[in-house]
Amino acid sequence: MVEVAALSLTEKVQITFSQTAFMVVEEIKSLYKTKAFVIFSILMFLPMQLILISYATTNYPSLLAEVEKAFFLNGIFENGAIDAFRDIFSSAMGILTVQRGATSFTIGATTYYLNLPIIAIVTLLTCGFIAAEREKGTLPVYVSKPVYRTQLVLSKFFAFAIVSLALTSLTYSLAYFTYAATLLGPLSLFFTGVAETINLLLILIFFTWLFILAVGSITILFSSLIDRSIIVGVTSLIVLLLLSILPDMLTVFGGAGLSSYLKFFDIPGLASQLIDYHSLGFFNYYQNLWNIITMIGFFSEFIVSRMVDPTTALAIIILLIVVPLIAACIITEKREVA
Amino acid sequence: MSAISICGLRKTFGSFTALDNVDLEVPEGVCFGILGPNGAGKTTTIKIILGLLEPSEGEVRVFGEMAGSYNVRRRIGYLPERIEYHNHVLCIDFLKYVGILNHMKPLSAERAAREILAWVGLEGWESYPIGTLSAGMKQRLGLAQALMGSPDLLILDEPTTNLDPIGRKEILDKVRELVRDGKTVLISSHILSEVEAVSDYVGIIFRGRVLRQGKLKDVVQELVRSKSGRCELIVDKKDAVLSLLRERGVDVTVDGERIIISSSDMDSVGKMVPKVLAEADARIIKFAPVGGTLQEVFLQLVSEGG
C-alpha cells in the first residue's frame, strides 16, 4: 500500500486558504438559490418599491386605479400595512426642501433597514448554516473530509457577508436615487453634491452591513449550539428582539440603570447611532433637529441614557460580529458529530 | 499494515455503553462486512473510525495513524446510512463542493464529478437539482460523493438502501470492482446475503461487542463445525419418516416441509436416515447440513448473544 506523506505546514496553509476561497464561491452559488435569500432580496428592495408606489399614489392616482383594476388588486394601495411603510418616506414628499430630502431618506431608510423585518430574514437565512447540515446528515460527510470545521463555518459566513454587502449596496443606492428622482424630477439624482451623496451612501451601506453581519454572526453561534434550524431561528430572533427592545422599555419604566448596560447589545440602536453620528455633518436640518430633541427634558434623558460614543459603538458591533463567530468555530470543532 | 486497527474500543453515552471492548482488524485491499442488528454499534464504530465521535477508551488507527486525523481523512470516502441533501443544489455542484473539500481544484473537481456520475449511473443528471432525483438516485449520488478524491478506504453504511434489485446488484458489482482496483471497502449492511456476496472478511457486532470476525468462509465454517449436528431432510412421506425418527429417539423439529434433525453424531444420523427412508418407502428430496449461510450463522450467534 502506498504511504501518503503528511502535508507540510506551508502546504496545509496554502491548501486551507485556496480551499476556503473555493468553498466561499460554491456557498455563494448555493445561497442565492435558497428561498430565504429570495425573501431577503425582496425585503431589501422594498424601500425602492414603496418610494415608487408612494410617488405614484401621490401624483398619478387615476393610473394606479387602472393598475389595481387590471390586476384585480382593488384597494391594495390603500392597504394599511403598505400605508404604514410608505409613510416612512412619503412624509417628505412635496413638503420638505431639497436639503431635507437626504435627511428624510436617511431617517426613513434606517428606520426600515435597522428593524424587525431585516432581523427576521437574516435570522432565517443564517439559522440553518450549521444546524441544517446536522439535520440533513451532510455534516458527517463534510467533516469526514480533509477540511477543518472552522473552514466550513467561515466559508458560509464569508459567503453571507459578500452577498449581503452586494445586496445592501445595490438596494440602498437604488432606493436613494429613486427617492431623489421622484422628489426632484427624473433627471436629478442628487440632493447634495456627488461627493456628499457617495459619502452618505457609503456610511449608510457600511453600518447597515455591519448590523446585518452582527445579526448573522449571533444566529450562526446559536446554529452551532442547537441542532434544529427552526429552534435556532426562533431563539435567535427572540434574543435579538429582546436586546433591541429591553433598553427602551426599561428606560420608560424607570430602569435606566440596567438599560445603560443593555444598550451595548442593542445592535439596531448601535448601528443607528453610528449612522446618525457619521452623517451629522451633512445636514444642517438634522443638526437643528438634534438640538431640539436634546433640549426636551424627558427625551434628553432618554436619548442620553441610550447614547454610546461612536468609537465604542463601532468596537462593540465589530466584537458582536467576531466573538460569536469565533465561538461558533470553536463549538463546531469540539462538538461530536453524532 | 491493517487499513483499520481497533483495540479495546469502548464508547459510552452517559450511562449507556454503546461499544464494549471492541477489537477489530480490517486488512488492506479487502471488502470487510460489518453485520449486526439495529442498535448493535455498527454506525458508532464507523463514526469513531472517521473521527466524528471520540472513543471513551481504546485506540483506533487508520493506515497506522490516529483515526480522524487530517492526513487520514484525505484517504477516506464515506457514505452515511441516511443522507439528505439541500434540494436546490445541482448534482454537479454538490460533487464539486465535495471535491473541493478533498483538496481538488474546481475544474478538476467538476471533471471528476462528471466521470463519477457516469460511473454510478447518473450520467445526464449533472445539471438537475438534487431534489428532482428519486430515492435510489440520491443513494447513487451518495456513493458518488464518497468516491470523490479517489480514496483508499471506502466506508459504506447501508449502501444499497432505497435501491431496486437491479440497482443493488450494480452497486455490489461496483464494490467488487473497487476492491479489485486495490481499495479497501468497509461495508455495513443488514442485508446479509449481499454482504455474503461481496465481502472477503466479516465482523459480527451485537450489543456493542464483536462476536466473531475473520475471513467470511472461516467464520461460517467455524460455527457450522462447532454447532454441527443439524441437518435438514425433505421427503415425500414426511409424517411417516417423522414418526420413525421419533421412535428411534432422534431429536427432530419440523419447519414447513423440512424435518430438522439435531444430533451430536451426524455420522450415525447419516447411516440411519437411509434405513428409515427404506422402512417408510419414502423418496428423498433433500438431505443437507443446516447452518451453511451467513444469515443462519448470524441469527444463531445473535440469538445466543455470542
Is there a single domain that holds both residue B203 and residue B252? no
Q: Which residue among B181, B216, B251 closes a domain?
A: B216
B202 lies in a domain? yes
Is there a single domain that holds both residue B91 and residue B207? yes
Is there a single domain that holds both residue B58 and residue B155? yes
Cβ separation A145–B73 shorter than 8 A: yes
pTM reported for the whole predicted model:
0.81
pLDDT-derived band at B12 (thresholds 50, 70, 90) equals very high
Q: Which of B54, B70, B100 sits opposite A336 (nearest CB)?
A: B54
Q: Which residue among B193, B216, B239 closes a domain?
A: B216
Which residues are CB-neighbours of B186 under 8 A, at least 6 positions away? B3, B4, B26, B32, B34, B46, B49, B153, B154, B155, B156
- Judged against a pLDDT cut of 50, whether residue B284 lies above it is answered with yes
Is there a single domain that holds both residue B153 and residue B280? no
Is there a single domain that holds both residue B182 and residue B279? no
Q: Average of pLDDT values for B137-159?
A: 92
B300 lies in a domain? no
B297 lies in a domain? no
In tens digits, chain A (338 residues) has pLDDT values of 445 667 788 888 888 999 999 999 999 999 988 899 999 999 898 888 877 777 777 777 777 677 667 766 666 655 555 555 555 554 444 334 444 667 777 777 888 888 888 999 999 999 999 999 998 888 999 999 999 999 999 999 999 999 999 999 999 898 888 888 777 766 666 666 777 788 888 999 999 999 999 999 999 999 999 999 999 999 999 999 888 887 777 766 665 666 667 778 888 888 888 887 887 655 554 555 555 555 555 555 555 556 778 888 899 999 999 999 999 999 999 998 87
Q: What is the pLDDT of residues B100-111, one digit of tens each?
A: 999 999 999 999
Instruction: Give the three cell numbers for residue B28.
Output: 488492506
Please report the pLDDT score of residue A295 as a whole number.
54
CA distance, residue A144 to nearest chain B CA (Å): 6
Instruction: Give the three cell numbers for residue B198.
Output: 461481496
* CB pairs A-B closer than 8 Å: 99
Is there a single domain that holds both residue B99 and residue B243? no
Q: What is the pLDDT of residues B58-78, one digit of tens each?
A: 999 999 999 999 999 999 999
Please report the pLDDT score of residue A95 as a whole number.
36
- Judged against a pLDDT cut of 90, whether residue B268 lies above it is answered with no
Cβ separation B63–A12 shorter than 8 A: no
The yes/no answer to whether this complex scores an ipTM above 0.85 is: no
- Cβ contacts (< 8 Å) between B157 and chain A: which residues? none
CA A254 – CA A170 distance, rounded (Å): 41
CA A221 – CA A323 distance, rounded (Å): 9
Please report the pLDDT score of residue A254 as a whole number.
62
Q: How many domains, chain B? A: 2
B83 touches chain A (CB under 8 A): yes
Is there a single domain that holds both residue B177 and residue B65? yes
State the residue range of the domain holding B254.
228-290
Cβ separation B78–A141 shorter than 8 A: yes
- Cβ contacts (< 8 Å) between A142 and chain B: which residues? 98, 101
B295 lies in a domain? no
Is there a single domain that holds both residue B105 and residue B203? yes
Please report the pLDDT score of residue A94 as a whole number.
36
Cβ separation B52–A337 shorter than 8 A: yes
Q: Average of pLDDT values for B213-241?
A: 77
β-bridge pairing B57-62 and B65-66: antiparallel
Is there a single domain that holds both residue B159 and residue B246? no
Dihedral of CA B72/B76/B81/B83: which sign? Answer: positive
B303 lies in a domain? no
- Cβ contacts (< 8 Å) between B97 and chain A: which residues? 23, 26, 30
Is there a single domain that holds both residue B41 and residue B186? yes
Please report the pLDDT score of residue A98 as a whole number.
45
For residue B267, give the CATH number of its domain.
3.30.70.100
| Nearest-by-CA chain A residue for B67 | A144
Is there a single domain that holds both residue B30 and residue B152? yes
Is there a single domain that holds both residue B19 and residue B108? yes
Instruction: Give the three cell numbers for residue A158.
Output: 464569508
β-bridge pairing B201-206 and B31-35: parallel
For residue B162, give the CATH number of its domain.
3.40.50.300
Phi-psi region of A122 (alpha: psi -120 to 50; beta: other; left: phi over 0): alpha
β-bridge pairing B251-255 and B258-262: antiparallel
- Cβ contacts (< 8 Å) between A30 and chain B: which residues? 86, 88-89, 93, 97
Q: Supply angle C-alpha B72, B24, B20, rounded to 5.
A: 110
B93 touches chain A (CB under 8 A): yes
SS3 percent helix, strand, coil of chain B, rounded to 5, is 40, 30, 30
B299 lies in a domain? no
Q: Where are the domains of chain A?
A: 13-334
